[in-house]
A and B are shown apart, each in its own frame.
Chain A
Amino acid sequence: MSLETRPHDKLIVMANQIAKFMESKPHAEGIEGLSSHINDFWEPRMRRQLFEMLDAGGAGLRPLVLDAAPLIRRPKP
């Protein structure tokens, strides 16, 4: 399925994919791994959109993404 319906949907899928890999690790390590992965590879525009979703409650995002949110670098507005 083309995921371009709404770009934010695609971000949810991507964040959840990372979460699924990191979930097999101990929780703290998973949080660390997920946040540093997003910090290292997601450009500011994507992180901004991620925070829009997180700030709105993070519907659709896996719990590990929510848990890792405080460690994700918030881009300059």
Chain B
Amino acid sequence: MKDFIIPDRDFGTPAAKSKTMVTLTIDGFDVTVPEGTSIMRAAAEAGISVPKLCATDSVEAFGSCRLCLVEIEGRNGTPASCTTPVAAGLKVSTQNTRLKKLRRGVMELYISDHPLDCLTCSANGDCELQDMAGAVGLRDVRYEAVETHFKAKNTSGEANPQWVPKDDSNPYFTYDPAKCIVCSRCVRACEEVQGTFALTIQGRGFDSRVSFGAKTDTALTSDCVSCGACVQACPTATLQENSIIDIGTPERSVITTCAYCGVGCSFKAEMRGDELVRMVPYKHGKANRGHSCVKGRFAYGYATHKDRILSPMIRDAIIDPWREVSWAEAMDFAADRMRGIQAKYGQQSVGVITSSRCTNEEAYLVQKLTRAVFMNNNTDTCARVCHSPTGYGLGQTFGTSAGTQDFDSVEETDVVIVIGANPVNGHPVFASRLTKRLRQGAKLIVIDPRRTEMVEGPHYKADHHLALTPGTNVAVISAMAHVIVTEGLMDEAFIRERCDWDAFQDYAEFIAAPHHAPEAVELLTKVPAADVRAAARLFAKGGNGAIYYGLGVTEHSQGSTTVIGIANLAMLTGNIGRPGVGVNPLRGQNNVQGSCDMGSFPHELPGYRHVKNDDARAVFERVWGVSIDNEPGLRIPNMLDAAVEGTFKGLYCQGEDILQSDPDTKHVAAGLAAMECVIVHDLFLNETANYAHVFFPGSSFLEKDGTFTNAERRINRVRKVMAPKQGYADWEVTQLFANAMLGKTGGAGWGYTHPSQIMDEIALTTPSFAGVSYERLETLGSVQWPCNEANPEGTPLMHVDGFVRGKGRFIRTEYVATDEKTGPRFPLLLTTGRILSQYNVGAQTRRTANVVWHAEDVLEVHPHDAEVRGIHHGAWVRLASRSGETTLRAEITDKVSPGVVYTTFHHPETQANVITTDFSDWATNCPEYKVTAVQVSPSNGPSEWQEDYAAQAEQSRRILPAAE
């Protein structure tokens, strides 16, 4: 018999939430389940699998296939067990002569309209129709159907009008209508799990077919976002991953974590040998609960893309071509240079950048490299350019710099504020959970300059969309707080008990001043005062209120102030410390949270402890056997400034592409060009590598063990499913480099043999991780920090009995206009964002079939602004700011307001960051990506800078053929 990987048990229908328990008897066994459970699920809990086709536990039962019939003592007929709820005392039988006969009849009908090519079918061995034919003992089909859906031609050779050809327009899965049993599991998955409503059943009876929207729509041209939920739900080969069609069925599976965004979905990597066959969202993943998006589910091909560099490379100068060398030679070269630089320019002249894409263990080692080997605190991370204001703002108000909830919390939310985030594109799996709640009736307030996909979607619509002028977040948030305070809508009991009362009174007096009123700021924010008032009242009095925010909050010169404002709002309304409420930053990259936790910032040791604190340093000094500098080190912008000044000369940059992701590209390029040793450690020759002297090839998340921490503070395991293609996992590369450096001075080397030892060191030194170990993660699946003696199983909700800092602290939030102002030369405001199918600077997604959804970055322009400039849809336009200019194509749309233009930054050719300036957040220097004054005008093609840049990039990517 087959020894196939055990699939996760399917209970047929979703779990019921009721606390009332009901006992019934199924086939003579007593079963106790929550009220509202289906008989099918109750039977499954007792270990009895009732045959079924149209039911699966990811969607509500539908009761169409009639295969799951049961008999209930004292009731007539044979009800469907999937749609019949349990009741106390029922006596159910799932198997007897009558039921067997009925089921065989049902199966016979299905099979008579189904091709019998099981042996060559891509779902062979993984098909529920096949399984059910076996389960009901179907031995022959007594009649041949005259009309079928699967025969292209009838017996006389005429075309069968019922036959529909395959749809293979989606690059990742194929729809083969010939095999469809019209169970509608896919349709329900698209509606209930994903929330896109792309699929429908068209026609009735024998004519009914699954279809992607209108008849002319293909999978690709429809609303489908390629999340894969329908493929997952389909019991047959009708909706099938192309990789399964190409390769065949997998033979084993390993649980791991998506390496794309901060949702941190759990996946089963299904393997055959060391070939990855498919990634399937893991049902027991606590962040995603069995759902996924196109990136994690399908866009993993970059790991084996031909552009991936597999050999270390060095060169003397960046005008030289690269030379492939051994690991030993590369390490020696890099260590020599870095030591030389430190000897000549001083201890502070080198530093590191840790990656938000690598594991916690890897980030920890990289900051350890600078603190314990370079002997300075010059470490920073790309979180600098996205969520550093979150750390500052929440740290100041609540005492800890992380989101307060788990994702499950959204199921109990009544009013949601989404500000400066577009989860539908940026955090799709969370968005599916959020929109599900909205369709159940939760209220939505969107604060965003652009009419994002979040504002309106299938069967939900924002109650308020406050379309503010970019750069006026603080004014809008303060105006809401003003309304709550002056209208007496705050939760005074909560504030008295949980917050610092003096700070509150100071804040209340400040915020009540008339210049914070919605009417007073309306001219500035362009948001009608009545809307602000209505939104504030709704949030204060609408039940459980939760705030979700993203980079549209942080990437401003007042980013930290806005985060403080958001925290104030949550405290004012008592929305902290229970399910359904809270303040939740949506993190961009998979491990932004983790890289911050791991001490990647120049002023903080792991666990957010300032380097000035003697006792914090002492812990690490003891474990590492070195003395740690007590002065904060250089942040990324400071490193670049210092490089241009000539005092910073060497950089080890792991898994980040600062040249593409950081603002003011020209300044970044000037800084990099001024350095004497830039070490880039990445999968690809990224843009930063154009200025590098050493290239360490990186390993993909499939090739190493470790952990990622998602936006809920959840520590998830990343598991190695194949050997690193270039020989070493990234943590091993950092260790090799550290040892090469230490070897130059005769210091004792590092000797980690597995990332679990690094985690043990983190647990030993960092109180909020004290209880974390690979063993514990193995047992619990995942854990949310703080995980320590007091919370051995982690902490899903923060600040439950009191704030981490003791009393919550209100802080004044005065609006200060950004220095970036429009004027006659640059009359428009540019704001930036991202789209679903691409990720960050696109280094990975651009190397997958995801490019079919987004071949280039475009500039969204409002029709008014386009008209006065003579710009039409699809035309090349020149986008210029004080910093520089670039060209891209225009898209005319009223998603943006007049005066605002919008683009993404996924493609290096566009170089949107040539445009952005180096203005930054006052507290953290997080760059102000979201506001740049620009002008737009017609153009004929790429700008001079783009052409120069392309030429330089071409030049610096040359690799010499390996010497024999």
Contact = CB atoms under 8 A, between A and B. Distances in A.
A and B form one complex: yes
Interface of A: 1-4, 7, 10, 13-14, 17-18, 20-21, 23-25, 37, 39-46, 75
B814 A20 contact: yes
Interface stretch (B24-32, B577-585, B865-873, B916-924): B916-924
Nearest to B819: A13
A41 B816 CA distance: 21
A37 B610 CA distance: 12
Contact of B634 (A7, A18, A43): A43
Contacts of B670: 4
Given A24-B813, A41-B603, A44-B631, 17 more contacts: A2-B666, A2-B882, A4-B918, A7-B641, A7-B645, A10-B918, A13-B919, A14-B920, A21-B560, A21-B922, A24-B812, A24-B814, A40-B632, A42-B632, A43-B632, A43-B634, A45-B348
Interface string B479-511: 000000000000000000000000000000010
A37 B819 contact: no
Contact of B923 (A1, A25, A37, A46): A37
Given A1-B917, A2-B882, A24-B812, A17 B557 contact: yes
Interface in B547-599: 557-558, 560-561
B667 to A, nearest CB: 6
A14 B923 contact: no
Q: Considering the complex of A and B, which 7 residue pairs feature the smallest CB-CB distances, nearest first?
A: A17-B922, A24-B814, A1-B882, A24-B812, A20-B816, A43-B632, A44-B631
Contacts of B603: 40-41
Contacts of B924: 41
Contacts, number: 80
B644 A7 contact: yes
A43 B558 CA distance: 21
B561 A21 contact: yes
A14 B612 contact: no
B471 interface: no
A76 to B, nearest CB: 9
Nearest to B815: A24
Nearest to A19: B922
A32 B918 CA distance: 27
A61 B694 CA distance: 41
B786 interface: no
B440 interface: no
B93 interface: no
Contacts of B655: none
A21 B348 CA distance: 30
Contacts of B812: 24-25
Interface in B631-657: 631-635, 638, 641-642, 644-645, 647
B641 A21 contact: no
- Chain B interface helix/strand/loop/mixed: loop
A14 B681 CA distance: 31
Nearest to A37: B923
A17 B602 CA distance: 21
Nearest to A42: B632
Contacts of A39: 612
Most B CB within 10 A of own CB, among A2, A25, A43: A43
B632 A4 contact: no
A21 B642 CA distance: 26
Given A2-B664, A2-B667, A18 B922 contact: yes
Nearest to B663: A2
Interface in B220-259: none
A24 B478 CA distance: 13
A42 to B, nearest CB: 7
Contacts of A75: 631
Given A24-B510, A24-B812, A37-B923, A4 B631 contact: no
B647 A2 contact: no
A11 to B, nearest CB: 9
Contacts of A43: 348, 377-378, 602, 631-635, 638
Contacts of A40: 603, 610, 612, 632
9 contacts: A1-B882, A7-B645, A17-B922, A18-B923, A20-B816, A21-B814, A41-B632, A43-B348, A43-B377
Contact of A1 (B561, B634, B647, B883): B883
B409 to A, nearest CB: 31
A57 B632 CA distance: 26
Contacts of A10: 641, 918
A13 B820 CA distance: 12
B925 interface: yes
Interface string B900-927: 0000000000000000011110111100
Interface in B804-845: 812-814, 816, 819
Contacts of A1: 882-883, 917
Nearest to A76: B631
A41 B632 CA distance: 6
Nearest to B921: A17
Most A CB within 10 A of own CB, among B348, B631, B813, B917: B631
A48 to B, nearest CB: 11
Contacts of B378: 43
A21 B813 CA distance: 7
Interface in B885-907: none
A25 B810 CA distance: 12
A28 B378 CA distance: 32
Nearest to B818: A17
A4 B796 CA distance: 45
B604 to A, nearest CB: 10
